[in-house]
Each structure stands twice: as C-alpha cells, then as structure tokens.
Structure 1
Amino acid sequence: MSASASTGTPSTRTTPPAPGFASGVGLVARREIVTRLRSKSFVVSAAVLVLLVLASVLLGGIFGGGDSSTKVAVVGSAEQVVGGADGLDAVQVESRAAGEELLRSGDVSAVVVPASGTPPVTVIGLDSAPQGVLSALSIQPEVELLDPSAQPAALVYIIALGFGIVFMMSAVTFGTMIAQSVVEEKQTRIVEILLSTVSARVLLAGKVVGNSVLALGQIAAIAIAAILGMMVTGQQVLLGTVGPAVAWFVVFFVIGFVLLAALYAAAASLVSRSEDIGSVTSPVMILIMVPYFLVIFFNDNPTVMAIMSYVPFAAPVGMPVRIFLGTAEWWEPILSLVLLVASTAVVIALGARVYSNSLLRTGARVKVSEALRG
C-alpha cells in the first residue's frame, strides 16, 4: 500500500492549461456570435435592414427604370421607325448635332439617327442606355453614349447615401453591442471569472473578432440583396457600374469596423454602469456620424471626398464613392487601405492598453490618461 493511500491524503489535482491566444480568441468570439444570434431583437433588426435595402432597390428599378420623358429626337428616315412605336413622341431635327444638343439640355430622352446596317437606326443616350426608348422600339438598335463616364446626380446621391447609412447603422449597432457587453461583464463580475482563464487582450480580441464577423455577415447579406434586386429589375448596367465600389466598400468596412470596435471596447471599459455608456462612447459616435453627414452634403465636392478617402474613420465611405464616380486613380484605394490598416493597428494597441488597465477597476469612471499609464 502506498503512503498516500495509507495516510488518506487525496491525490493532487492538475489544473487544465489555459487556452492559447488563437484558441482563446476563438472561444470568446464564438460566445459573442452565439449570444447575438440568440437575441430576437438583433435578428429582427438585421432582417429588417436587409429587407429595406432590397425594397429600395426594387422600387428604384420599378419606378426609375423608365425615362422621365418619352420625347425622342429623330434625324431623317429614323422618324419612320420611331413613329411606329407606342409611347414615343418623335421630335424632328435637322442633324445629329442638333439632336445631341437637345439631349444634353434634357429636352429629349434619346436621339435616333439612321444607320447603314441592320437595324436601320442607332439610338444615342447621354450617360446610360435609355431603357424606356429601347423597350418601346420593336427592334434592337445599336446604342451609343455621349458621356458614358458621367453619373446622374440623383444616382450619385443615392449611392453615397446608401454607403453612408449602411456604414453608420452597422458600426453603431455592433459597436453599441460591444460596449454594453463590456459594461455588463464588469457589473456582474463575470469579467473576473473570464480573466482567470484568458487574458484581457484575448478577451478584447475575441469581442472584436466575433462582432466583426457578425457585421461582415450583415454587410454581405445587404450586398446580396442589392445584387438580386438589380438583377430582378434588369439593372445590369447599374450593377456593373456600382459593383467595384461595393467590393471596395466591403474591404474598407471590415478594417474600419475593427478600428471602431476597439475604440468602443476601450471606451466602455472606463465605466462600470450601463447609464454611463453614452457619455464615454459619444466621441466614437461622432467619428461615425461625421462621414455620414459629409457624404450627404458634399458627395459632389471632389476636394471633400478626396480628403475623406484618406481619413481613417471616413475612408470606408469616401473611397468607395470616389471609385463609383471614377475620380480615384488606381493606386489611391491601395494607399488609403494601407493608411487605414496602419491606423487600425495603432488604435488596437492603445485600446488594448486602456482595456487591460481599466477592466477590473469598478466604481468611479477611469480617466483615459490613468488607463494609459496603468
């Protein structure tokens, strides 16, 4: 019989090793994702946002697909083709140049000129194919555009507004969730249990990763809904134009959200009561609201948009709009993305320090300077 058995001394228990950084981040991120998906309010709000985007695209295609005017400038024998089409009002002009002048001034929706081949006419549009005129004609003529690089002012405003709203609502929604989660864990002392298993940096990284995955999933669902809406309503031309801008928006949003998520978590760690969340996160809220208002009022100002595309918290909105407008050089999105990644790395480092030094401090609000000093 062993000594331990004879004396009745219990065998020594081994404590399970703490998870590594990657596995710890995965555990915290999975916990964040599962918690959010179990919330009915979160699922309903996300579904409503996706449905609103889909409805706006469908309604825009239904009510905006046709031309606002059915007047068509015709040259020479082209009048015979247009005259037999229902819903088109032929305006006879002496030359193609005269018709183009009416088209640029907005007096007509298109210009139809004779062609030597088959079909016998060519339809000229301003900046996009005049779908209403083409559908009214019984033939499929060749289409020419006077200014294919230009975008209608109303379309630019809608696209800019869409980027601004999606970025603002997603960042505010998920950022607020992160802040509430941090404060709730401090109030209930759950954070003390969590920190006995994982470090504060792992906890912060897991929260950022988990909510970033949810935010990216919502953005992907919105993008898919918008693409399906454009395809159903026959807006393939618009889809080809806005597609690259949407792709860049997703890339910029992912990096930009990580930056804002780190700020939300660090700010929330400074307080211990839910009532104080608004006061510490209001500066982050301002950073999110500024690009939203700028893109609404200055989407046609190239200087303001250029500055926005290089400011880290505004680049996710400013650069995609410039890409849609075609005013950004090929290297500008890359440079802007590099600056955004560098800024995000700095913010994460500072935010992690504030978060680690404030997480276990309860009671009065912790000053940022104290949190940075530790």
Structure 2
Amino acid sequence: MTQTAVLNRPAVGPGLSFGQAVRLVAEREILTRVRSRAFQVSTGIMLAAVLAGVIISGLLGGRTSTTSVAVVGDVAGQVQHADGLEITRADSAAAAARMIENGTVEAAVVPDPSSPAKIKIIADDQAPDALVNKLSVQPEVTLLHPPAVSPGLRYIASYGFGIVFLMSAATFGGTIAQSVVEEKQTRIVEILISSVTSRTLLTGKILGNSLLAFAQVVLLGACAVIGLSTTGENSVLSALGAPMAWFVIFFVIGFVLLAAMFAAAASLVSRQEDVQSTVTPVTMLVMVPYFLVIFFNNNDVVLTIMSYVPFSAAVGMPLRIFLSQAAWWEPLLSLLVLIGGTVGVIMIAAKIYGNALLRTGAKVSVREALRSSGVE
C-alpha cells in the first residue's frame, strides 16, 4: 500500500455515525476525481463541444442560402416572388450566358416563347435544382396530423438526451468500477472495512460519484441554454425547459441504479485487467438507450416502452415530454417505477458488493456472491 493511498483514504473511526461516514467516503471520491487532470480536461472539452455544437447548429439552421441569378427583360417580374434569389439584370440571353461563364452569377432565367412556362434556365455544367424548385409551382399540402416537432429537431433532441446520458453514466460508472478494483488490488479496502461497513463504503461511492455526475449534467444543460440563447433559438429553449428538468431528475435516480451495478460488478474481480470484462454487461445497458433513441426516435411504441424501463427511462421519458406524447401522470408513474427498480437493484448490489469485496484471486461469480456470507 503506497503512502499516497493511505493519505487519500478517509479518516473514519468507530465513533462516527452512518451519515458522517458516508459523507467522508463521498468527499474522498469527489476530491480524488476533481483533482484529476484527466477529469478536468475531459469535462472542459465536453462542455466546450456541447456549447460549440449548439451554437453552430443554430447558426447553420438560421442561415438562408441565396442563388445569384441573371434575368433578361420581363422575366424579372416572374421570378421576383421567389425567395433566396439574388437577381441581376442582363441585356440579353448572350449577356447572361457570359455572366455565367465569368462566374458573376450561378444561372440565368431568360424568355423562351416556345416553352409552356415561357421562360428557360441557363446554367454552366449542371442543372440548378435549387433554382428549379423555387420557380416551380408547388401544390399546397395539408397535413391531417402535423407533427408537434420537426423531424430535424426531434433527431437533435434525441441525440442530445442520448449522448449526455451515455457519456456521463459511462464515465462516472467506469470511475466507480476502477476505484473498487483499485482498493481491492492494493488491499486498501481491508483497512477501510476495519473502520466502516461495506454498505457505508458503497453508499459513499455512489453518493460522491452521483453528485459529480449531477453537477456535470447541470453544467452541460447550462451550456446548451447559453448556446440556444446566443443563437436566438428562444422557441426551442422554451420547449426544452421542462424536458431538461425532468431529464436531470430521472438521470440522478437512474445513475444511482447504474452506479450500484458498476460497483457490484467490479467487486467480483481483484485485478484492473479484469474490470472491463465484468462491467461490460452494465456498459451495454448504458449504451442501449442511446442507440434506441438514435434509430427509433420516430417510433412512439419504442419510446413508450423505454420510458417505463428503469435503465432507459432517463432518456425515453424526457424525450416523450419534449415531443408532447406523455400525459401529465406518465412522468410521475415512470419515476415511481424507476425509484422502485433502483431500490431493488441497490439491495442486490449491496449484497454482492459486501460478499465479494474481501474475496481476492479468481473472479467471483454473481451466484456465489449472492450465496456467500461476506462483510457488512
């Protein structure tokens, strides 16, 4: 056991209450993580990426493209109603063609008495589809059931909720797993267990990393709000207000569930080399909601099922609220299901963690950890 490891362990004693011991363990987890240069850099990059992504998307979405067009004679009156055209007058069709050749304009619209439309478009080496579409007569379309949110915005919201959940849960879940195995491998856990119970240690780890994950999600949300405000997307910001608040609530509880699973899975092994294999099933549970909302964000049945499954409710329910698909009582029911599932998982994870924590050597199976008698 290294001197640094000894200094980093919480100074707990038998006279401390459960709450005091949990607070000390949580403080240790938070300080160890916050002081890490890798954590500081990765968090900064993530915040900058979210802010830049929102701003760039807003700017690109609000920018309208224009097509420079030369017109001849009375044609100007026929095309001036089209949006997105920068019109330049030319004396003749030949003059308009020369303007295309020298790059002054992208295309030209000239009179053509033989054409049913009485006009003709001249271009360089390919048909200007944007100009053709603008000059075409489009029939009016009436939707009987218009979507409340545009497909593009629906996808962006799905991606946002999914990627934030994936990054935060995987990052801090992996941190918990690494911490558990490191303490077992260096035998620090034997000293810790002599001062606090395994339940206290597990609770402190979950609480500390949950607070960090919560803080990170709040910061990411703040960056998104700043980006939307900067680009003037006030309507989008207003629509995302309630879903983002629900996302934070669901994420905090959902992360506690996943954190308990990461800790329990990591306690089954004693070497850092074995961590990845034992936490892979939990990592897959973290990835599933992300891929579901990316590929099935337009499938209402899939989103409804997701909103009532504990490990995916943090993504599914806020997205349904954003899409105005959830009744007022559904988030409350989903939250109750999530809380119930979290309590059940914590009880099982605490038993596995306590029974496997002091076991070294070969990997302990889940069945063996549930059956054996460990430390409390």
Normalised by the length of structure 1, the TM-score is 0.75
Residue 24 (structure 1) aligns with: 21
3-state secondary structure, aligned to 2:195? coil
Cα distance in 1 for partners of 2:271, 2:41 equals 27
Query: Quick one: distance in 1 between partners of 2:272 and 2:194?
Result: 24
- 2:204 aligned partner, one-letter code: G
Which residue does 2:150 correspond to in 1? 152
Please tell me whether the aligned partners of residues 18 and 197 of structure 1 are also in contact (alpha carbons under 8 angstroms).
no
Query: 2: CA distance between counterparts of 1:22 and 1:172?
Result: 27
Residue 201 (1) aligns with residue 199 (2): yes
1:243 and 2:241 correspond: yes
How far has the Cα of 1:68 moved from its partner? 6.6
Tell me, in whole angstroms, the C-alpha distance in 1 between the residues paired with 2:314 and 2:337. Answer: 12
Deviation of the 1:66 alpha carbon = 3.8
Give the unaligned 5+ runs of structure 2.
1-11, 68-79, 87-132, 135-141
Deviation by residue 1:43-91 (Cα, 9 ceiling, x = unmatched) = 1101111111000110011111245789xxxxxxxxxxxx7999579xx
- TM-score w.r.t. structure 2 length? 0.75
2:297 corresponds, among 289, 296, 299, to: 299
Unaligned runs of 5+ in 1: 1-14, 71-82, 90-106, 109-125, 128-145
Q: Is the 8 A contact 1:259 1:348 kept in 2?
A: yes
The question of 1:285 aligning with 2:295 is answered no
* Structure 2 Cα separation of the partners of residues 65 and 214 of structure 1: 35
- The aligned runs of 1:71-220 (5 Å cut-off) are 150-220=148-218
Q: Do structure 1's residue 345 and structure 2's residue 347 form an aligned pair?
A: no
1:226 lines up with 2:224 in the alignment: yes
Shift of 1:310: 0.4
Residue 366 (structure 1) shift: 0.8
Q: Share of identical aligned residues, percent? A: 57
Distance 1:161 1:283 in 2: 22
2:70 maps to what in 1? none
Deviation at 1:17, TM superposition (A): 3.6
In the alignment, which residue of structure 2 is the partner of 1:64? 61
Structure 2 CA distance for aligned equivalents of residues 147 and 291 of structure 1 = 27
CA contact (8 A) 1:53 1:226 kept: yes
Instruction: Give the alignment's Cα RMSD to 1 decimal.
Output: 2.6
Q: CA deviation at 1:227?
A: 0.3
Is 1:41 the equivalent of 2:38? yes
Check conservation: 1:149, 1:326, Cα contact below 8 A: no
Structure 2 CA distance for partners of 1:342 and 1:278, relative to 1, 3 Å: same
- Matching residue within 355, 371, 374 for 1:373: 371
Q: Tell me the distance in 2 between the aligned counterparts of 1:232 and 1:270.
A: 48
Residues matched between the structures, number: 299
Measure the CA separation in 1 of the matches of 2:82 and 2:317. Answer: 43
